[in-house]
Amino acid sequence: MCIILGIESSCDETAIAVVKNGNQILSNIIASQAKVHEKYGGVIPEIASRIHIENISMVLKEALQTANITMEEIDAIAVTQGPGLIGSLHVGMICAKTLSMSYNKPLIAVHHIAGHIYANEFVDELKFPLLALVVSGGHTELIYMKEHYHFEVISQTQDDAIGEAYDKVAKVLGLPYPGGPHIDRLAKNGDNIYTLPAIKTENPFDFSFSGLKSSVLQLISRLQRTQQQYRIEDIACSFQERALDELIKRVDLAINHYEVSHVVLAGGVAANSRLREKMEQYMAGKSQKLTIPPLYCCTDNAAMIASAGYQAYLRKLFSKYDLAAKPSLNISKDNKI
């Protein structure tokens, strides 16, 4: 038996979880700051790190209480090292190092995206070779894993991440931050009536969302200038259909090009109901298995960090106390065994 305490504070969620054997959640506590940042239309880094400091001790206490466990019974402490906001990452890092030193437990550094991928372990055992479609507020990538804890980024976004595009389009439509879930909800009552241009990238596996975002902004300003009636539901739906089709197109290219046994979704945008539906439709009848993480661990949480940390624990990938938070940590380079 192995019990890992996971700590995640890379953006605006202060999260601590206790996970047994990599896939059994004993507790998963998240203190979200979304309501605070909503007022500013985005995350204010200075405020985020201050609130992490205020909340982290209470989140730790609650995570241990809910799991009905003491620090002595924990086998190791896994913490998000990056990528993320430097001030926010530091808070989780200091908490992890303090616990590691005080209780003499191994310290494990986890890449935030590795965590998102390992969230799938709560549903299915990962099978390799694996292809992960990573879609979050900061990342849009295809990651290829030929075995556990070996990450190869085979494509990435040339500009905006898909979550960022969702949030920017939502802002222009007057929706609160983060806008992704609002677009998801509105699009259900909309029709795909606006043709938005397909995305072209030099490397066909790569993504790009800034052009699509600009096309939506131009469409809205044209509709307003020419005083045409429009429904924001139709704009949300047209944007979403184009954006998601671009994701599926690249997954299709990748599974036809690489040997893949398992396809997984990862990251906050994996909570999108239409993406979940489209991926299921696309994968139906294919030989590769599809796993979609449960909604409760699509957006940032610490259970996923503990699950990835468990794999690092099995491989004895422990860190020293000079471990530093890295805002632009590289998953391919910094996670080779």
Residues in contact with ligand KG4 by CB under 6 A are 11, 136-138, 163, 166-167, 178-181, 184, 267-269, 271-272, 299-300
Q: Give the CA-trace dihedral at 49, 54, 55, 57, to 10 degrees.
A: 120
Which of 64/270 has CB closer to ligand KG4? Answer: 270
Computed over its alpha carbons, how large is the radius of gyration of the chain? Answer: 20
Which of 60/162 has CB closer to ligand KG4? Answer: 162
Which of 106/178 has CB closer to ligand KG4? Answer: 178
Which of 106/115 has CB closer to Zn ion? Answer: 115
CA–CA dist 98, 282 (Å, integer): 46
43 burial via Cβ count (<10 Å: 0-12, 13-18, 19+)? buried
Pairing state between β 76-82 and 24-32: unpaired
Q: How far is the CB of 234 from ligand KG4 (least distance, A)?
A: 17
Q: Which does 178 bind (CB under 5 to 8 A by kind): Zn ion, ligand KG4, none?
A: ligand KG4
CA–CA dist 219, 223 (Å, integer): 6
Q: Which does 179 bind (CB under 5 to 8 A by kind): Zn ion, ligand KG4, none?
A: ligand KG4
Q: Which does 115 bind (CB under 5 to 8 A by kind): Zn ion, ligand KG4, none?
A: none
SS3 181: helix
SS3 40: coil
Q: Which does 121 bind (CB under 5 to 8 A by kind): ligand KG4, Zn ion, none?
A: none
Q: How far is the CB of 304 from Zn ion (least distance, A)?
A: 9
Which of 20/326 has CB closer to ligand KG4? Answer: 326
Q: How far is the CB of 301 from ligand KG4 (least distance, A)?
A: 8
Cis previous bond, 294, omega within 30: no
CA–CA dist 309, 11 (Å, integer): 19
Q: Which does 272 bind (CB under 5 to 8 A by kind): Zn ion, ligand KG4, none?
A: ligand KG4
What residues contact 121, with CB distance under 8 A and at least 6 apart?
22, 23, 307
Q: How far is the CB of 270 from ligand KG4 (least distance, A)?
A: 8
